[in-house]
Amino acid sequence: MRGSGVLLVAGLAGTAVGVLGVVRAAVRLDRLHVRTDAAWAALDDALGRRAHAVRALDACLTAAEAALRAEPVIREDVENELGRAIAVLDRADLDPACAARLADAEQRVMIARRVYNDAVRDTLALRSRRMVRWLRLAGTAALPQYFEIAEPQDGAGA
Amino acid sequence: MVCPYSLAARGGVQAHVLGLAQGLRDLGHQVQVLAPAVAGAALPEFVTAAGRAVRVPYNGSVAQLAFGPVAVTRVRRWLRAHDFDLLHLHEPTAPSVSLIALALADLPVVATFHMATTRSWALAAAHGLLQPPMEKITARIAVSPLARRVQVEYLGGDAVEIPNGLDVALFATASPLPGYPRRGGTVGFVGRFDEPRKGMPVLLAALRTLARTRPELQLLVVGHGDTATLRRAAGPALTSRIRVLGAVGEQGKAAMLRSVDVLGVPATGGESFGVVLTEALAAGTPVVASDLDAFRRVLDGGRAGVLVSPAAPTALAGVLGDLLDDPARRAELATAGRRRAAIWDWPVIARRVLQVYETAIAADPRRLAPGSAVPIRSLLTRTPR
């Protein structure tokens, strides 16, 4: 009798630990999804700023307009196109204030992209765990995707 | 801003935290720093002491860290006492107040990674345990390409690269040592001169050649090492030409850099950045450095200083000799160096860090109103590969 009692207690404790682990994973996952969404909002904002900065230059107008209107499906291609258009600009020709604003906008795109891809990476890592997959802790949330665009090679500084 | 290492020991991370905090304050921002230190220690007024640090062998050296219930209480009290918009943690993987703050934080977090060890069993072992708190970091900064690589390879993240800052004014305005700059040519060396990797043997060989035709040539040395061994290595012809100042601190180093005609940095490898190069550029001291990746980056591909093949005494002697004979070229290099050094000035670095802060705040979930989460999610699902 006493043996089965101990077993029962051990079983209950084991279940409790298991449930706690699942709840913890679910909370983490939810937090990561929210983080990814917020990071996307920031990246979207930074990309918009860059397109606006370029539009203000009166150069590469077509590419900037396209980026501002882009359907999310082709967002990376369009932003890459804009990036290439910016790369061939001769900065020395630009109005210094505009050039500074463009450099700032480019830097912010780079930072926001890192922030977003970090959030995606953490989310994907947790979602690839067996427990999360088997128990469908992610629910109906879509798998987040990395945002891959080319970065200008010559950043500010060393 | 939280620094994990005790301010009683002055290291690179501590100098970075204090320099950055001051730079941000100079730009008009409110910054508070929390770091292990004993109460009553002489600290800037914006620093809060997080208690006594324990000396722990960590990451190949002895670090002074604070942890335990007292540290947790101090961190919690500090976070409550200030209504922060953002928390900037330095080296959050070190078991100290940064990690505690990360666990307690409920606000946007930016983390700066300084460490550049490519192999750390402690990090590898702690990866699973560290993952949940690390998920709270919104944006990451690495101080060097190597530190960024540690990020990518061991901690599963990417980072924005922003180098260490530099007190440009200190080096630009220091007074030279009494009697300097002197006639006859003075070559400088900064660093641990008994570590062969730093290249002192190469420099000595080069100077032996130069000394034959330059009776007044002097080598001025700042840094740790055994002077007697250095003099033996220099040989009888050169030993009288060497003046060793030893370990002299920041002020002394600035004065020395302002005193020499040219600084030799003949390191043979294993350099990740080259702080002394940036200091020399700020001081307007012409630099001759080994053509290593890190040095080439600092010297802007050779525009801000002269690059020579590593471990090639003859080439080094040639370049040093030409520079000593050519005051116009030295003046040119000094101007180019000062212009280059401006990119590491703390206010400039602080502005770049601010861009990261602003992105982290823009990417803060708390900014999303509950209703707005749905449209953004739908946008996200349509983001392509």
pLDDT digits over B357-376, tens only? 999 998 887 766 544 443 33
d(CA B143, CA B133): 21
B363·A116 Cβ contact <8 A:
yes
- Residue B349 phi/psi, 5-degree rounding, is -60, -40
Query: Nearest residue of A to residue B368 by CA position?
Result: A38
Q: What is the CA radius of gyration of chain A?
A: 24
Residues 7-26 of A with CB under 8 A from B: none
In this complex, the residue of B157, B355, B382 whose CB is nearest that of residue A73 is: B382
Residues 23-52 of A with CB under 8 A from B: 28, 31-32, 34-46
CA-based nearest residue to B307, from B317, B292, B321: B292
B379·A111 Cβ contact <8 A:
no
Q: What global pTM score does this model have? A: 0.78
Residue pLDDT, tens place only, B81-114: 998 999 999 988 877 888 888 888 888 999 998 8
Cα–Cα distances (Å) from B336 to A92, A100, B163, B296, B323, in that order, read 19, 22, 20, 14, 15
Q: Is A122 on the interface with B (CB under 8 A)?
A: yes
Query: Given the DSSP bridges, would you call strands B54-58 and B61-65 parallel, antiparallel or unpaired?
Result: antiparallel
B135·A122 Cβ contact <8 A:
yes
Range in A74-78, B124-128, B227-231, B244-248 the model is least confident about: B124-128
d(CA B98, CA B92): 5
Collect all residues of chain B within an 8 Å Cβ-Cβ radius of residue A158: 163, 273, 297-298, 343-344
A107·B368 Cβ contact <8 A:
no
Residue listed under structure tokens 């944006």:
B139
pLDDT at residue B121, rounded to an integer: 61
Q: Is A86 on the interface with B (CB under 8 A)?
A: no
d(CA B170, CA B162): 21
Q: Is B136 helix (H, G, I), strand (E, B) or coil?
A: coil
d(CA B310, CA B330): 21
Query: Nearest residue of A to residue B141 by CA position?
Result: A111
What is the rounded average pLDDT of the residues B22-47? Answer: 86
Confidence of residue B127 (pLDDT cuts 50, 70, 90): low
Residue pLDDT, tens place only, B51-82: 777 777 665 566 677 777 888 888 999 999 99
Contacts of B302 (CB under 8 A, 6+ apart): B296
pLDDT at residue B172, rounded to an integer: 94
Two tokens at B85? 């918009």
In this complex, the residue of B163, B298, B367 whose CB is nearest that of residue A38 is: B367
d(CA B201, CA B344): 30
d(CA B2, CA B37): 12
Range A55-90 burial, b when 16+ CB lie within 10 A, else e = bebebbeebbebbbebebeebbebbebbbebbeeee
What is the rounded average pLDDT of the residues B296-322? Answer: 93
Q: Is A103 on the interface with B (CB under 8 A)?
A: no
Q: Which of B140, B144, B380 to mutate to test the interface with A (most CBs of A within 10 A)?
A: B380
Distance from the Cα of A90 to chain B's closest Cα (Å) equals: 20
Two tokens at B228? 């007697």
Q: Is A128 on the interface with B (CB under 8 A)?
A: no
Two tokens at B165? 């800052």
Query: Nearest residue of A to residue B355 by CA position?
Result: A108
Report angle CA A118, A119, A122 to the nearest 5 degrees.
Answer: 85
DSSP B210-272: HHHH-TT-EEEEESSS-HHHHHHHH-HHHHTTEEEEES-HHHHHHHHHHH-SEEEE---S--S
- Residue B92 phi/psi, 5-degree rounding, is -70, -5
In this complex, the residue of B160, B367, B376 whose CB is nearest that of residue A114 is: B160
Higher-confidence residue: A2 or B79?
B79
Of A94-98, B17-21, B55-59, highest mean pLDDT: B17-21
